[in-house]
A and B are shown apart, each in its own frame.
Chain A
């Protein structure tokens, strides 16, 4: 019992996690990542990936259409700003709920199939949403221009209370303007809540049942479980996470465009989750942070910066290295991401978290073999290979 009904170990994990997130502006400074725009992205995509992992990591169902929920969350949030209030609370609530509703619909149809067919169905739905946003739904989505908040929008609640912002409208949390660090801290709070919920799901009988579905769904049916509603709930929960991430994008920048729903966005969250470690608690966030970090750092490198980096070399060597490295940075940073992804998938199929676990176990093994002789060590090794 005790701390939010977490075991001592999980409570510690939660405290460390919350501290790491809240202190990110300090400890990320040496990495050059401590500016609010990037920190917001870390939190938002971290949340997106945590939610995605509840579906993919626990049930094994690989959705290729989660960007649709991101998109609908964003659009709903902008409409909540436009019609109700610039306060971010209704925006987050409505955005999350509409994403949940869309997830019920998409999940109900897509979950009739498993494996690659499920992935294709979700992809088809997401692309449908994307194309609709550009065409038929233009009155709601404002098509290619993107949906933004205008000064003369109704904002019924704000006008009723008489709080109308000067200048271009910005999201607002009871007086705090959602820009810069306040916006990051709002996203960080959502991330911490999201992580807590995910932790509870992982540790619940519900979570165990989801993992069992991933392991052997047929057996689950013959064990007396109706697996469909379990899968649908996991799908909806993860859709709601994505929706919330979508609203946070709008909270930090009140603009929604359809490109957010494109399949590349769906693919990105898959990469994040796999890179960090599918089915692990922290992996998806790690993956999200890493990808967003690389995107920002490497894409900012250009030829001049490279020449600076290699300037200590003789000219001919400097030019040689710049030519080799050049395709991997700037516009071509995806090449770096692709290489990194391949290396991880080939050598660490369990993602970065598996890598850390291996390092940790190796050290533990060393310690135990020194203490109790080599017999224990071989036993530990056997167990380690079984776990992989």
Chain B
């Protein structure tokens, strides 16, 4: 633990919406190759924090740096191209396109960058991209449905597709916003397995999650957010026994 390699550094981030203080003085360091979970009751500011990280929201003050590069104020596509990829909570897919195309798009983004004009290339010749997309779909058990329209799938399948779209980019940092919400127990377990497998490949992940089963089976480190501030941070065992955390969660349960 002597030489820690910090990938994402969130420094003293504040975010207010009118009079509401959504985040106050949040400091968070994400280490390379680790899975860092952020938990907290509803309205604690978890999603706001994630939105600040990917540039959807600009913090009122403070900064977010990724491998020394300041992310604050950058356009969403620049943050993605830097290697920070978000998996959305409500599936943000391309409903009119097929599953395969849905996954080929992010793979193309990885290869082509933010912009490339190639109207005379044939999509059919992009075998690398296709193979990659298919292998990710196979991992998530969606390969058989690859030619179906994404919009016609069940919610759980959409969530898995969403995860495929994130994974195919081989991000340096993957931000997962409640990756198992709305999934059946079986799907949740298979998603946990998939996430464990990518962990073995050394992908850095930040997970926001309600489901404690998921958090404790995946996280190396947990930060607890309550009312916009981090109230506890540490390895899972330490968090489990922390009285402050239990109090925040019991308070959250009444909401």
Contacts and interface: CB of A to CB of B under 8 A. Distances in A.
B86 interface: yes
27 contacts: A200-B122, A201-B119, A204-B118, A204-B119, A204-B122, A205-B112, A211-B101, A215-B95, A215-B96, A215-B97, A221-B75, A221-B77, A222-B76, A222-B80, A222-B86, A223-B109, A224-B77, A224-B80, A224-B81, A224-B113, A224-B114, A225-B77, A225-B109, A227-B77, A383-B148, A386-B149, A386-B151
B101 A208 contact: yes
A112 interface: no
Contacts of B96: 211, 214-215
Contacts of A233: 117
A226 interface: yes
B110 interface: yes
B94 A205 contact: no
Interface in B18-58: 54, 56
B232 to A, nearest CB: 30
Contacts, number: 109
Contacts of A206: 116-119, 121
Contacts of B116: 206
Interface in A196-239: 197, 200-201, 203-209, 211-212, 214-216, 218-227, 229-230, 233
Contact of B92 (A219, A230, A383): A219
Q: Which 3 A-B pairs have the closest CB atoms?
A: A224-B80, A386-B152, A224-B109
Nearest to B82: A224
B120 A200 contact: yes
Q: Which residue among B106, B119, B121 has the maximum number of chain A CB atoms within 10 Å of its CB?
A: B119
Contacts of A197: 119
Interface string A375-386: 000000001001
A29 interface: no
Interface of A: 5, 7, 197, 200-201, 203-209, 211-212, 214-216, 218-227, 229-230, 233, 383, 386-387
Given A215-B94, A215-B97, A204 B123 contact: yes
B189 to A, nearest CB: 27
Nearest to A54: B119
Given A209-B108, A216-B94, 13 more contacts: A203-B124, A204-B119, A204-B121, A207-B123, A208-B97, A212-B94, A216-B95, A221-B75, A223-B105, A224-B80, A226-B75, A226-B114, A229-B117
B93 A216 contact: yes
Contacts of B123: 203-205, 207-208
Contacts of A223: 77, 80, 105-106, 109, 165, 169
A214 B105 CA distance: 13
Q: Which residue among B75, B94, B124, B151 has the maximum number of chain A CB atoms within 10 Å of its CB?
A: B94
Nearest to A201: B119
B115 interface: yes
A327 B194 CA distance: 67
A386 B99 CA distance: 13
A233 B115 CA distance: 11
B115 A225 contact: yes
B104 interface: yes
Q: Is the interface of A mostly helix, strand, loop or mixed?
A: helix
A5 B148 contact: no
Nearest to A385: B152
B204 to A, nearest CB: 18
Contacts of A211: 94, 96-97, 101
B172 to A, nearest CB: 13
B69 interface: no
A386 B118 contact: no
A5 B149 CA distance: 27
B126 interface: yes
Contacts of A205: 108, 112, 118, 121, 123, 126, 129
Contacts of B121: 204-206
Contacts of B112: 205
Given A201-B119, A224-B109, A219 B94 contact: yes
B110 A224 contact: yes
Contacts of A214: 96
Nearest to B129: A205
Nearest to A234: B119
Q: Which residue among B77, B92, B118 has the maximum number of chain A CB atoms within 10 Å of its CB?
A: B77
A215 B101 CA distance: 12
Contacts of A230: 115
A342 to B, nearest CB: 25
Contacts of A204: 118-123
Contacts of B86: 222
A212 B96 CA distance: 8
Nearest to A214: B96
A307 B148 CA distance: 54
B174 to A, nearest CB: 13
Interface in B63-107: 75-77, 80-81, 86, 88, 92-97, 101, 104-106
Contacts of A212: 94, 97, 101, 105
B175 to A, nearest CB: 11
B123 to A, nearest CB: 5
A197 B120 CA distance: 8
Contacts of B56: 222
A216 B118 contact: no
Interface string B142-176: 00000011011000000000000100010000000
B114 A225 contact: yes
Contacts of A387: 149
